[in-house]
């Protein structure tokens, strides 16, 4: 018996084929760079048999789906290796993640670097055995029998069909069935098994390049009330060359880590006395922060925004009106009681901007009305997700809200998008694309979102239209919208290719109605404005963290906390350089004179370590000639430069971007 199907192999057009019944996707492709298939749009194992009328597509190993398949398969191999080395280990979950995978275990003691090496070797042995991944559909009772010694797997079986079970792709949620994958040796014996949705590679020999990287504590199913497990992280790639390249990127990322550079450059710190996620900026970091604030404040005013200021706390009722309670309650700190009245630290500035809009009557002639402030907000982030400046609990936003007539909403979004892309380019982040965050397909049924289907469709269409007209890549992000409306975010790549979410533009059709905001329209009747949220830096703390890593601490001269350091060859030239430094200070240049007792060579090394853009050196010949010697951050040097020429060069090269 034969069946007719449509096949799309790698880099080829779909073609009709007739094949024998029982043919698998593995037989169709026979290419080890293909690790899975899509049959009628569903991602499946290559061992899946095709049926009459199926549309079968190859999934390449280096595609996003293909990478997830090899990483998920590696997670299984890692778990098998762990249980071969630590017989008391109990299995949690093991999903693929960006650039790798993890697997959670209950073990008596945390994993160590020596354990990582042992697990790597055990994984290598499993891979060499060419164990097959064999999928089986099982009943609940059968799954409980086979996994009777795995308490966390038994719990997942009880969650079948529940969204709480989705983490780790362990259960066929909503499919009404459970699946187990056996790792089968060449002699047919089962080496290991796991409750899993799959898909997986046909056998372990497809896994060519992997490594265990680190471990951490993790609560079962992310709930602090549950048991604390050990989360073992690893990475997996199509080739060893890919793995080496990734490890080199990791090493470079470690060298650029803003937490390390923040200490070395004396920019900021995280005192334990304050609590997790609460940074303080030191004088040099304060200069960097002030220069950035000065830039963006001037840019907002030039773009038609009015600067406003609002308090850090408010009575509870304001956040009920805005919808943050209950829709954003988990992200807010608990209330403070004042004689029976609850007050909350603000998590957003928008409710207070709405009160400013509402403080008096508004006319259509005032619109677009644009408010902006540096508002510090507070988010009750879980301690496990805090990461230096890029994930903090106190967030200073260059937060703005535009109130516009509905028919002008698209124009305002364009205005804001131009603003944010200009800003990113001025700060050297010129490789970016757009992401459109919307409700997911079930959004209209979800309590996570407010507003009607019609409102969501209209707002989404406007953002999509502006995004497409920008000429930038527009990537969908279903389910990523805020509760009050869709958003466009700008995703920027840094110097080593990592992508960061930066500026955001959000369409809000809910808060104006909730606050009763109106303006008098051209016809003399009241009308409701559309509200558009935008944060250009997003979070200034996060932006500083990203910039620090992007530039590896060697900030552009206009941003550098210290732009010039004057280094005398000997102490008798201190005053000579101090006079030049005074002229530079008068011109607005940030300059220091190194009067320390360090030897001259040590002073040069100190300036280089601090990544100062310009060093001015003076000795006897320079002083006699009314000159200085220039030394640049890259180590090059220009001797005997006249003072006025040196000052002119520094001023020309430290000007902030002009638009």
User: 297: closest CA among 556, 503, 589, 537?
Assistant: 537
In a domain, 644, yes or no: yes
Per-residue pLDDT of 12-58, as tens digits, reads 889 999 999 999 999 999 889 999 999 999 999 999 999 999 999 99
The CA R_g of the chain, rounded to the nearest whole Å, is 30
Q: Give Cα 271 to chain centroid, integer Å.
A: 24
**Domain assignment of residue 659, yes or no:** no
501 is an active site residue: no
Residue 27's H or E segment, with its range, is helix 25-29
pLDDT band at 495 (very low <50, low <70, confident <90, very high): very high
- The answer to whether residue 306 scores a pLDDT higher than 50 is yes
Residue at 223 is within a domain: yes
CATH of the domain at 571: 3.40.50.800
Residue 604 has pLDDT above 90, yes or no: yes
CA 74 to chain centre: 24
Beta-carbon count within 10 A of 120 CB? 15
Structure tokens at 10: 């790698």
pLDDT at residue number 168: 41
Parallel/antiparallel/unpaired status of strands 228-237 and 313-315:
unpaired
Same-domain status, 69 and 47: no
Closest CA to 576 of 639, 620, 529: 620
Q: Residue 405: inside a domain, yes or no?
A: yes
Q: Is 74 annotated as a binding residue?
A: no
pLDDT bucket at 363, cuts 50 / 70 / 90? very high
Q: What is the mean pLDDT of the chain?
A: 92
Residues 237 and 304 in one domain: no
Q: Is residue 260 part of a domain?
A: no
Determine which one of 397, 491, 506, 610 is catalytic.
Answer: 397
What pLDDT, on the 0 to 100 scale, is given for residue 314?
94
Active site residue 487: yes
Mean pLDDT of all residues in 156-164: 62
Residue 415 assigned to a binding site: no
- Amino acid 174: pLDDT: 35
* Shared-domain flag, residues 291 and 409: yes
Considering the candidates 401, 415, 439, 631, report the single residue annotated as catalytic. Answer: 401
- Please give the structure tokens belonging to residue 356: 């400013």
Active site residue 605: no
CATH of the domain at 55: 3.10.20.30
Looking at residue 16, its pLDDT comes to 93
Name the token pair of 87.
Answer: 């017989």
Cβ neighbors of 445 (< 8 A, separation 6 or more) are none
331 and 380 in contact (C-beta within 8 Å)? yes
Same domain, 276 and 136: no
Outline where DSSP puts E strands in 270-428.
280-281, 306-307, 313-315, 336-338, 341-345, 369-378, 394-404
Annotated active-site residue 533? The verdict is: yes
Given the residues 132, 393, 487, 590, select the one marked as catalytic.
487
3-state secondary structure of 484: coil
d(CA 201, CA 132): 8
Range of the domain at 583: 564-653
Q: What is the CATH number of the domain that holds 208?
A: 3.30.980.10
**Domain end call among 550, 579, 598:** 550
Asked if residue 258 is part of any domain, the answer here is no
3-state SS class at 285:
helix
The pLDDT value recorded for residue 175 is 47
DSSP 61: T
Whether 350 is a known active-site residue: answer: yes
Number of separate domains in the chain: 4
Q: Which of 533, 542, 550, 603 is catalytic?
A: 533
Confirm whether residue 550 is marked as ligand binding: no
Which residues, at least 6 apart from 640, have a Cβ–Cβ distance to it below 8 Å? 621, 622, 625, 627, 629
- When pLDDT is cut at 50, 70 and 90, the band that residue 492 belongs to is very high
Annotated active-site residue in 350, 415, 594, 622: 350
| 401 among known catalytic residues | yes
Highest mean pLDDT pick, 89-98, 386-395, 442-451: 89-98
Which residue out of 194, 399, 426, 622 is catalytically annotated? Answer: 399
* Model pLDDT for residues 431-480, shown as the tens digit of each residue: 999 999 998 766 555 667 778 888 899 999 999 999 999 999 999 999 88
Structure confidence at residue 452 (pLDDT) = 85
Can you tell me the distance from the alpha carbon of 250 to that of 161, in angstroms, rounded to the nearest whole number?
38
Task: Say if residue 170's pLDDT is above 70.
Answer: no
Are residues 223 and 288 located together in one domain of the fold? no
* Residue located via tokens 């350091």: 565
Residue 207 above 60 pLDDT? Answer: yes
User: For residue 230, is it left (φ>0), alpha (ψ between -120 and 50) or beta?
Assistant: beta
What are the residue ranges of helices labelled H in 303-344? Answer: 316-322, 324-327
Kindly report, residue by residue over 245-291, the tens digit of the pLDDT. Answer: 999 999 999 999 999 999 999 999 999 999 999 999 999 999 999 99
Closest listed residue to residue 538, CA positions, set 514, 488, 502: 502
Q: What is the pLDDT of residue 323?
A: 86
397 as an active site residue: the answer is yes
Provide the pLDDT for residue 172. Answer: 36
Q: Are residues 526 and 465 in the same domain?
A: yes
Which position among 379, 439, 542, 590 bears the catalytic label?
379
Question: Pick from 521, 550, 579: which residue ends a domain?
Answer: 550
The dihedral region occupied by 304, where left means phi > 0, alpha psi between -120 and 50, and beta the remainder, is: left
Q: Which residues contact 322 (CB under 8 A, 6 or more apart)?
A: 348, 350, 351, 354, 511, 514, 515
Q: What is the CATH number of the domain that holds 409?
A: 3.30.930.10
Q: What is the percent of the chain where pLDDT is above 70? A: 96
Closest to 281 measured CA to CA, from 266, 297, 259:
266
Share of the chain above pLDDT 90, in %: 82
pLDDT for residue 632:
92
- Looking at 550, 573, 595, the residue that finishes a domain is 550
pLDDT at 481: 87
Supply the pLDDT for residue 5: 86
């Amino acid at each position: 018996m034969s069946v007719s199907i449509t096949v799309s192999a790698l880099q080829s057009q779909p073609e009709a084929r007739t094949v024998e019944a029982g043919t698998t996707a593995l037989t169709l492709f026979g290419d080890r760079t293909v690790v899975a298939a899509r049959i009628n749009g569903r991602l499946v194992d290559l061992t899946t048999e095709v049926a009459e009328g199926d549309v079968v597509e190859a999934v390449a190993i280096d595609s996003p789906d293909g990478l997830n398949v090899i990483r998920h398969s590696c997670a299984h191999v890692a778990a098998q290796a762990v249980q071969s080395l630590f017989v008391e280990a109990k299995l949690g979950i093991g999903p693929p993640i960006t650039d790798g995978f993890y697997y959670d275990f209950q073990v008596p003691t945390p994993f160590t670097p020596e354990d990582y090496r042992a697990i790597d070797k055990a994984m290598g042995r499993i891979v060499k055995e060419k164990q097959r991944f064999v999928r089986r559909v099982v009943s609940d009772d059968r799954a409980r029998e086979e996994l009777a010694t795995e308490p966390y797997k038994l719990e997942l079986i009880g969650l079948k069909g529940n969204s709480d079970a989705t983490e780790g792709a362990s259960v066929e949620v909503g499919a009404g069935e459970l699946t187990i994958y056996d790792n089968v040796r060449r002699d047919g014996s089962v080496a290991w098994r796991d409750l899993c949705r799959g898909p997986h590679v046909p056998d372990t020999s497809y896994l060519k390049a992997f490594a265990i990287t680190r471990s951490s504590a993790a609560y079962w199913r992310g709930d602090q009330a549950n048991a604390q497990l050990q989360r073992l992280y690893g990475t997996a790639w199509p080739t060893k060359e890919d793995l080496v390249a990734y490890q080199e990127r990791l090493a470079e990322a470690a060298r650029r880590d803003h937490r390390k550079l923040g200490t070395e450059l004396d920019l900021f710190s995280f005192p334990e006395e304050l609590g997790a996620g609460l940074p303080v900026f030191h004088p040099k970091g304060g200069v960097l922060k002030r220069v950035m604030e000065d830039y963006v404040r001037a840019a907002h005013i030039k773009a038609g925004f009015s600067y406003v200021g609002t308090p850090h706390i408010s009575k509870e009722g304001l956040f009920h009106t805005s919808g943050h309670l209950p829709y954003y309650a988990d992200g807010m700190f608990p209330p403070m009681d004042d004689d029976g009245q609850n007050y909350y630290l603000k998590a957003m500035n928008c409710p207070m901007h709405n009160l400013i809009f509402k403080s008096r009557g508004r006319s259509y002639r005032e619109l677009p009305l644009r408010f902006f402030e540096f508002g510090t907000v507070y988010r009750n982030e879980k301690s496990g997700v805090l990461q230096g400046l890029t994930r903090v609990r106190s967030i200073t936003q260059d937060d703005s809200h535009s109130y516009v007539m509905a028919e002008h909403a698209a124009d305002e979004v364009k205005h804001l998008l131009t603003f944010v892309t200009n800003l990113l380019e001025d700060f050297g982040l010129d490789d970016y694309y757009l992401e459109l965050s919307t409700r997911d397909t079930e959004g209209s049924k979800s309590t996570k979102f407010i507003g009607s289907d019609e409102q969501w469709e209209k707002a989404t269409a406007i953002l999509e239209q502006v995004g497409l007209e920008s000429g930038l890549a527009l990537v969908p992000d279903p389910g990523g919208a805020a509760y009050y409306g869709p958003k466009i975010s700008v995703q920027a790549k840094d110097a080593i290719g990592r992508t960061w979410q930066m500026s955001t533009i959000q369409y809000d059709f809910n808060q104006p109605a909730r606050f009763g905001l109106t303006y008098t329209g051209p016809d003399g009747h009241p009308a409701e404005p559309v509200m558009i949220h935008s944060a250009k830096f997003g979070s200034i703390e996060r932006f500083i963290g990203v910039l620090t890593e992007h530039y590896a601490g060697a900030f552009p001269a206009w941003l550098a906390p210290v732009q010039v350091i004057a280094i005398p060859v000997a102490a008798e030239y201190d005053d000579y350089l101090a006079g030049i430094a005074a002229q530079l200070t008068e011109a607005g240049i940030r300059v220091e004179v190194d009067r320390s007792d360090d030897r001259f060579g040590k002073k040069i090394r100190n300036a280089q370590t601090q990544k100062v853009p310009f060093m001015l050196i003076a000795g006897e010949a320079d002083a006699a000639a009314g000159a200085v010697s220039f030394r640049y951050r890259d180590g090059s040097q220009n001797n005997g430069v006249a003072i006025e020429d040196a000052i002119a060069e520094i001023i020309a090269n430290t000007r902030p971007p002009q638009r």
